[in-house]
Amino acid sequence: MGALQGKTALVTGSGTGIGRAVAERFAREGARVVIADRDAGAAEATAGAIGETAHAAVMDISDEESVSSAFASLEAAGWAPDVVVANAGVQLFGQDAKAADLDLEVWNRTIGINLTGTFLTVKHAVRSMRSQGGGSIILTGSPTGLNGEGAEFTAYSASKAGIHGLARTVAAAYASDNIRVNTVVPAYTETTLVTTISSDPESRKAIVGRIPLGRAGTPHDVEGIMVFLASDDGAFATGSLFAVDGGMTML
């Protein structure tokens, strides 16, 4: 029996990358998994690869009506999640910049998706979980929200710092409702989100050189901690930040 047997988990941004890897692992651990993504094709493809224990849901996390409708539809269909991984986000390479050079539109778009979108996901997850007697919410953070790693990415770094603070605030507010909220911080992880870096040997060498374990992260590196936090083994963990970053934030 898997660690998540009997649970239903929703993972945002799970059409690709870290979200897809986590959703697939959750399914292998026995959970029913909602593949939530604004790209309907990617969501359907991931759900199809997992099989009958997966359900595709189109969700644009920056649009509250989209988020609200998705949660309502899932509840009506018997797929209300007791685990939610708020993972979806953007990093606007070539547009995000140091503060004095950052265009307001880029700031607003990044914050709107990463921070406001995470807030909306959490808001409706909490509403759903309160009626079910509790649950586990897991946010995807970043080293850029903890140290100077994101000096060239003001909007992205600020959005992730906001996510870290949001997790602690919501954890404190809803602990009495048996809702746990934690943040997982991956290292630089090679997915389609960071092809600008991974396709440039010098840029890649520079960032991997700042990881003490000496390699880039992969989506599979964060699966284990996500399973722990989603499972009953993590029942006493809330309001915490779990770095799975090869030592990147210890320096």
Active centre residues (catalytic): 156
Q: Which residues of 225-241 are buried (b: 16+ CB within 10 A; e: fewer)?
A: bbbbbbbeebeebbeeb
Candidates 96, 83, 227, 224; CA nearest to 153 is: 96
Angle at 79 between CA 10 and CA 166, to 5 degrees: 35
Burial of 93 (0-12, 13-18, 19+ CB in 10 A): middle
Give the total residue count for the chain: 251
Q: How far apart are CA 130 and CA 141, in angstroms?
A: 24
- State which amino acid sits at residue 234: G
